[in-house]
Amino acid sequence: MFNSVLAVMARALMAFIFISAGYSKIEGFSGTEAYMAAMGVNPSFLPAVIALELGGGLALLFGWQTRLTAAGLAGFCVISGLLFHGNGEQANQILLMKNLAMAGGLLAFVRTGAGAPALDRH
């Protein structure tokens, strides 16, 4: 029972940042497009980013395709961290380290899977 609670908590805590980030990008769509453009990233990627964050966050939360989802989100964390926070400023260094730490946590899901209960468990 304890392991089941831990599995759900781990997935929920990791998923929350992606779900909330995806939702906030929908709410602030034009501002996010402008920010992406200012950072040299093509804003046409924004719908894909939203889909990855929302879809990946929900898939992780419910434990569906957990290993694949976690691998994709880990790669996203590294790439977005380097693109948006890799400029060497102290505040951005902290955000980059946060992204790298999240990637490390996600890699643990790649190794172990969702745990139970999850949609991955039939």
In the 8-state DSSP scheme, what is residue 44? G
pTM over 0.85: yes
Contact predicate 95/3, CB 8 Å: no
Contact predicate 38/28, CB 8 Å: no
Asked whether residue 119 is domain-assigned, the answer is: no
Q: Estimate the crossing angle of helix 2-27 against helix 46-62, to 10 degrees.
A: 160
Asked whether residue 118 is domain-assigned, the answer is: no
Asked whether residue 117 is domain-assigned, the answer is: no
> Positive or negative CA dihedral for 42, 107, 71, 9?
negative
pLDDT at position 84 = 96
Domain count, the chain: 1
Asked whether residue 116 is domain-assigned, the answer is: no
Q: What range does the domain containing 74 cover? A: 2-111
Asked whether residue 39 is domain-assigned, the answer is: yes
CA dist 19 and 116 (Å) reads 21
pLDDT at position 1 = 86
Asked whether residue 7 is domain-assigned, the answer is: yes
Contact predicate 42/36, CB 8 Å: yes
pLDDT at position 64 = 97
Asked whether residue 57 is domain-assigned, the answer is: yes
pLDDT in tens, 32-47: 999 999 999 999 999 9
Asked whether residue 94 is domain-assigned, the answer is: yes
In the 8-state DSSP scheme, what is residue 117? S
Low-confidence ranges of the chain (pLDDT < 50): 122
